Amino acid sequence: MSFFGGGGAPQQPMQPDPLFAAQTEMEMYTVLFNKLTQSCFKKCASRKHKEPDLHLGEMSCIDRCVAKYMDSQELVGKVLQAANEKQAAQQMQMQQMQQAMGGA
């Protein structure tokens, strides 16, 4: 029995369920789209209209709003990915330390 882990057979990493991953991704895109739509519509086209179509100024406002929103989401995604990679590296290092101490 090792000091850190309790011994036994090594655990295999869980394989992600592709259906669950697809559903989660779809839910994330739905939330993103709904927030983007609500935010940009409120900023650019919330006035009451008599015309069924957007004016040129409203369309360009929405284009800029969507671009900025997507850029910010991409930046947040990169920061989270870097944090996840750092955490995974730390976990790997901890496992290597545990194995080194268990084997000594």
How far apart are the C-alpha atoms of 62 and 84, rounded to whole Å? 32
CB atoms within 10 A of CB 99: 14
Whether residue 37 is contained in a domain is answered as yes
Task: Pick the closest to residue 40 from 72, 14, 9, 12 (CA basis).
Answer: 72
- Give 53-86 pLDDT, tens digit per residue: 888 888 999 999 999 999 999 999 999 999 999 9
Domain assignment present for 74:
yes
> Which residue range is the domain that position 65 belongs to?
23-43+55-103
Q: What is the pLDDT of residue 66?
A: 94
Most confident of 33-47, 58-72, 90-104: 58-72
Question: Is 7 inside any structural domain?
Answer: no
Collapsed DSSP state (helix, strand, coil) of residue 15? coil
* Single pTM value for the model: 0.61
Total count of domains within the chain: 1
